[in-house]
Amino acid sequence: RGTAYVSDIKNILERFLGKNKTEQALRIFNLKYNIDSQTETADSRFIKFSENLLAGRIGTASAKILIEGVTKEDKISLKEVLNILEESKETITLNKKLTEQSEELQKLSDDLRNANENLIIKDRQKDDFLDSVAHELRTPITAIRSAGEILADDDDIPLEIKKEFLNNIITESDRMSEIIN
Domain at 128, CATH number: 1.10.287.130
Domain that holds residue 12: 6-76
User: Are the C-beta atoms of 61 and 83 separated by less than 8 Å?
Assistant: yes
pTM metric for this prediction: 0.43
User: Are the C-beta atoms of 85 and 62 separated by less than 8 Å?
Assistant: no
pLDDT band for position 114 (50/70/90)? very high
Provide the mean pLDDT of the chain: 87
What's the domain count of the chain? 2
Please check whether residues 14 and 57 belong to one and the same domain.
yes
How far is 140 from 148, CA to CA, in rounded Å?
12
Whether 164 is covered by a domain: the verdict is yes
The CA-based angle 122-126-128, given to 5 degrees, is 115
Give every CB contact of residue 124 below 8 A, 6+ residues apart in sequence: none
Last residue of a domain, one of 76, 111, 136: 76
pLDDT band for position 136 (50/70/90)? confident
For 165, list phi and psi in degrees, rounded to 5: -65, -40
* Res 137: pLDDT: 85
44-54 average pLDDT score:
91
Of 43-52, 73-82, 119-128, 133-142, minimum mean pLDDT range: 73-82
73 pLDDT more than 60 = no
